[in-house]
């Protein structure tokens, strides 16, 4: 598997978001960028905070869970704790929500708006231990840019 070029992905994301920083438009383009740039994934996209649930937002992949409660599953935990969740084996994660039974590892990163979590980036893989610290750091840079530039 070829390592992702996160520096190039960040430059591409910056160019896409600069054209239209509206969160729907930007996250749609970001989901497509993730899908096209990362190998060995089966879902890439975003969940948006709506009250006490996460609602599915722009994504690429199979049909997904529509709502995720705060603190539930990997996405809900990332939201509740405002912390990146890098999970090598989702089946060992307490309370994991299996939206796609083919997923075996996952990474979820918070996206902030005025200091509060407004969305999470969620990427799943059919492989165990697919995501590394390098992925964590590279994706965190993308989320940081989104946090600073999106218009909600």
The residues spanned by each domain of the chain are 6-149
Distance CA 118, CA 106 (A): 19
Predicted local confidence at residue 56, as pLDDT: 98
Contact 6, 141 (CB under 8 A): yes
* pTM for the structure as a whole: 0.97
User: Which residue from 88, 58, 60, 57 is spatially nearest to 74, judged by alpha carbons?
Assistant: 88
Write down the CATH number for the domain with range 6-149.
3.30.450.40
Cα 132 to Cα 4, 124, 128, 142: the distances in Å are 11, 13, 11, 16
Predicted local confidence at residue 96, as pLDDT: 85
Which secondary structure element, helix H or strand E, spans residue 43, and what is its range?
Answer: strand 43-50
Predicted local confidence at residue 23, as pLDDT: 97
Average pLDDT across each block of 10 residues of the chain; the chain has 152 residues. List them in order: 94 97 98 98 98 98 95 97 98 86 95 97 98 98 98 96
Predicted local confidence at residue 122, as pLDDT: 98
């Amino acid at each position: 598997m070829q390592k992702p070029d996160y520096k190039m992905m960040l430059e591409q994301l910056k160019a896409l978001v600069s054209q239209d920083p509206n969160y729907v438009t930007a996250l749609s383009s970001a989901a497509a960028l993730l899908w096209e740039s990362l190998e060995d994934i089966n879902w890439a996209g975003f969940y948006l905070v709506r009250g006490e649930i996460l609602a599915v937002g722009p994504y690429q992949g199979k049909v997904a869970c529509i709502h995720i409660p705060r603190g539930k599953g990997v996405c809900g935990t990332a939201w509740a704790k405002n912390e990146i969740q890098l999970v090598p084996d989702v089946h060992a994660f307490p309370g994991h929500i299996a939206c796609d039974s083919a997923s075996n590892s996952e990474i979820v990163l918070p996206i902030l708006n005025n200091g509060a979590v407004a969305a999470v980036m969620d990427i799943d893989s059919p492989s165990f231990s697919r995501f590394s610290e390098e992925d964590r750091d590279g994706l965190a840079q993308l989320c940081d840019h989104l946090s600073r530039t999106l218009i909600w």
